[in-house]
Amino acid sequence: MLPEFLVAETTVREAGTGPAMALDQRPGGTLVLTLGITRIIEQESIDLSIWGSADGTDWGTKPVVAFPQKFYCGTYQIILDLTDHPDVKFLRAKWAVNRWGKGDTKPVFTIYLFAQPMHTQLIAVGA
């Protein structure tokens, strides 16, 4: 059921995968995905992608959408249009992290990922 967190706020230090989230019964649809990065250290990056599955077991070979690589704290949104993926009934996030430069080579990110349906609204303009 949406809206829902795909990834509740958590600290990640290595590559990982979030839990599977079941979508509503209707196939297709458009979602707004919000990635929040609330903690980061210098000289590191995170790549976060969204994977779809028809059965919650087979996640395919490529994501349905991916955020551009991120280096800074902030809130970022992308649109996920599932029209081209009518078989997708489950979503999950997958991330990879990287750190370079001096000091500890282990990355530190605190992130969350929220999914909500995109509602199209019409605005009536009076003459």
What is the DSSP secondary-structure string of 15-37? -EEPPPEEPPSS---EEEEEEEE
Confidence check: pLDDT of 113 > 70: yes
Determine contact, residues 97/107, Cβ cutoff 8 Å.
yes
Distances in Å between the Cα of 16 and the Cα atoms of 3, 36, 80, 112 are 22, 16, 21, 13
Among 50-54, 69-73, 105-109, 120-124, name the one with the lowest average pLDDT.
120-124
What are the structural domains of the chain? 4-117 (2.60.120.1110)
Q: What is the pLDDT of residue 122?
A: 45
What's the pLDDT score for residue 29? 86
Please write the tens of the pLDDT for every residue from 22-71. 987 666 789 999 999 999 999 999 999 999 999 999 999 999 999 999 99
pTM: 0.88
Task: Find, among 93, 71, 69, 70, the residue nearest to 80 by Cα.
Answer: 93
Tell me if 76 sits within 8 A of 35, measured CB to CB: yes
